[in-house]
Structure 1
Amino acid sequence: MAKGKKSVVKFVIDCTAPVDDKVLDVAMFEAYLQERIKIGGKTGALASNNVVISRDRTKLTVASPADLKFSKRQLKYLSKRYLKKQQLRDYLRVVAASKNSYEMRYFSITGGDEEAEE
């Protein structure tokens, strides 16, 4: 039997807005994910399970074999923990942009400005 190409699931975390404003450092965020992502209940098992985290200027991509059943939810959890650790959780939120991607957005604060002016 010929071996077929194994399917890979890619999850993207788009950090464009905070990176453009120099609020978030993508390299540090990538290192945080490298340390904290759990596979089979163990951290630090990314390479042995063929999970690859790559980044371009504003986006992080986590590529995982489909049979591993990697959790997209775990990425949101870790993203929120990172924002909390960096004290950015009050300004940024993590929103699902599509089926396989998250996006970091600023909270849109409208109203309440009239009270502050008085």
Structure 2
Amino acid sequence: MAVTKSGSATKKSDTRKFVVDCSGPASDKIFDVAAYEKYLHDHIKVNGRTNNLEDQVKIVRANDKITVTASIHFSKRYIKYLTKRFLKKHQLRDWLRVIATDKQTYLLKYYNINQGEDEEEDDEE
């Protein structure tokens, strides 16, 4: 049996804060930030259950940005997964992608579809 040291075995309160920046598509009126906020409220699971956020996970909307603050273990990848599911549900997945801009922020950005048009113009010249 392993012997453990007792005493200073306290857990620190690890508060993680993630931001999803939806400003580009929201300014073009194709992305509803309020609906996305509600989707996150309804679909984030805490201890294996949805609608169980309590004080452990807080979701705040400020203009076109959603901030998710968690006082429990919470992965950034889970936010990306839920965002992609929301985009697929609203048939926006073909137009928007989720990009990590830094360690705590995601950005919704349009796919660059102008590359094919540029090649056609070069062939005509």
Q: TM range, normalised to the smaller chain?
A: 0.7 to 0.9
When Rg is computed on C-alpha atoms for both structures, the one with the higher figure is 2
* Structure-to-structure mapping, 1:17-28, within 5 angstroms: 17-28=24-35
Deviation at 1:6, TM superposition (A): 4.3
**Number of residue-to-residue matches in the alignment:** 109
- Distance in 1 (CA, whole Å) between partners of 2:102 and 2:116 is 31
8 Å contact from structure 1 (residues 29, 82) kept in 2: yes
After TM superposition, what 4+ stretches of structure 1 lie above 6 angstroms from structure 2? none
The one-letter code matched in structure 1 to 2:46 is I
Deviation at 1:9, TM superposition (A): 1.2
| 1:105 paired residue number | 109
| 2:9 paired residue number | none
- 1:11 maps to which of 11, 18, 26: 18
Secondary structure class of the residue paired with 2:115: coil
Q: TM-score, structure 1 length as denominator?
A: 0.85
- The alignment yields a C-alpha RMSD, in angstroms, of 1.7
- Distance in 1 (CA, whole Å) between partners of 2:38 and 2:14 is 25
The one-letter code matched in structure 2 to 1:74 is Y
The one-letter code matched in structure 2 to 1:34 is H
In structure 1, the gaps of 5 or more residues are none
Deviation at 1:109, TM superposition (A): 1.7
- 1:36 maps to which of 40, 43, 53: 43
1:9-59 deviations in Å (ceiling 9; x for gaps): 110000010001001010000000000001121111111x42110001100
Deviation at 1:92, TM superposition (A): 0.1
The one-letter code matched in structure 2 to 1:60 is I
| 1:90 paired residue number | 94
In structure 2, the gaps of 5 or more residues are 1-11
Q: TM-score, structure 2 length as denominator?
A: 0.81
